[in-house]
Amino acid sequence: MNVLKHLLFTVFMGGLLLSADGLVQAQGTEVSALIEKAEAAGIEQSAVAELLRRAQSQEMSNQQLQQILESALDLSDQNLPGQVAVDKALEGLSKGVPADRIIPAVHNIGEGMRQAAEIVDPWMKRSEVQQMMGRTGQSMSQNIFRGEMIRAASKSFVQKIPASQINRIFNEIGSEEILSTRSAGDVLAAVSVLSDLPTSSSQPEISASLIIRALRGGFDADKLQQLPSAMKMGQQRSQLPASSVIEGAAQQMEKGTPAKQVLQNLFNGNIGGGPPGNIPPGLERRPDRGNNNNNPGNNNRGGNNGPNG
């Protein structure tokens, strides 16, 4: 069975490459040269072949295609994951985004990765980080971990989260207190979800504080990855502002509530972590309540019945 899978994969890849060769001939010599450089730089051939196909079918010009490939190669030349530029372009093409909007997005993500590297590279040299990476059982090499951390941090830069807050997270998670008990995967997940929290654009300092508290509170990679969706569900069911939901979650963590229970409470809309509808003092005021704040019944939000329950 394994032999059959291997043969099928070989045939599939062969078809991709033959198709790509035909498309390369249809492009220009400059594009052809860039594709060869991309292959030499380690950028996935299948992704480049898919980029060529989509570019041709969606009438992307050779000049625009060149710009994408040049961005990818420029990142690779700086020891950054050039694959990200190709992946970003493919994402845009798959959504039908016009080429003249894809190019700036590719450039933005490239700039975000350069900014991220300025934080990640010195952080990687910390003795605490080196000790974590040297522990038995780590699933990532240092090189792969560095690349993934740069990718993760670059998302925050692209979303215009201030460098001060991104630096803060790296400084905090680089402490022996956290790295002595957390894995590389946990740390990577923490940085990756920062840009996904509902308050990260408007109140990045609140999001940064929550991520740090979650790591200290025993959230592993899997539970950290669930945190943004739990926050959004908690906000929807409680009808509280995102900042109040995050504050409620932080209070639960501060009390030592297990990570699994914090997530379940958020998904249920129990922002205070108590019985359904419980909202901690100070979090019950919503901008849209007006004079109804004096009505105790308005505090009975959340629970398993959703916002209308």
Whole-number pLDDT of residue 178? 92
Express each pLDDT in 98-144 by its tens digit.
Answer: 999 999 999 999 999 999 999 999 999 999 999 999 987 777 899 99
d(CA 294, CA 35): 66
Nearest in space to 120 (alpha carbons), one of 85, 139, 144, 147:
147
The structure tokens listed for 176 are 């022996």
Whether residue 256 contacts residue 272, with contact meaning beta carbons closer than 8 Å, is answered with: no
| Separation of alpha carbons 21 and 175, rounded Å | 50
All structural domains of the chain with their residue ranges:
44-129, 159-284+299-309
Residues in the chain where the model's pLDDT stays below 70: 1-28, 273-309
The span from the CA of 76 to the CA of 124, in Å, is: 19
Task: Single out the residue of 289, 271, 288 nearest to residue 280, CA to CA.
Answer: 271
Rounded to the nearest 5 degrees, what angle is found at the Cα of 188, between the Cα atoms of 144 and 126? 75
| Pick from 173, 178, 177: nearest CA to 193 | 173
Residue 249: the pLDDT is 93
- Which pair of tokens denotes residue 129? 């980080």
d(CA 302, CA 215): 26
What H or E segment, with its residue span, contains residue 65? helix 62-77
**Which residue's structure tokens are 């939901």?**
245
Question: What pLDDT was estimated at residue 273?
Answer: 67
pLDDT at 202: 87
Identify residue 141 by its one-letter amino acid code.
Answer: S
pLDDT recorded at residue 49? 92
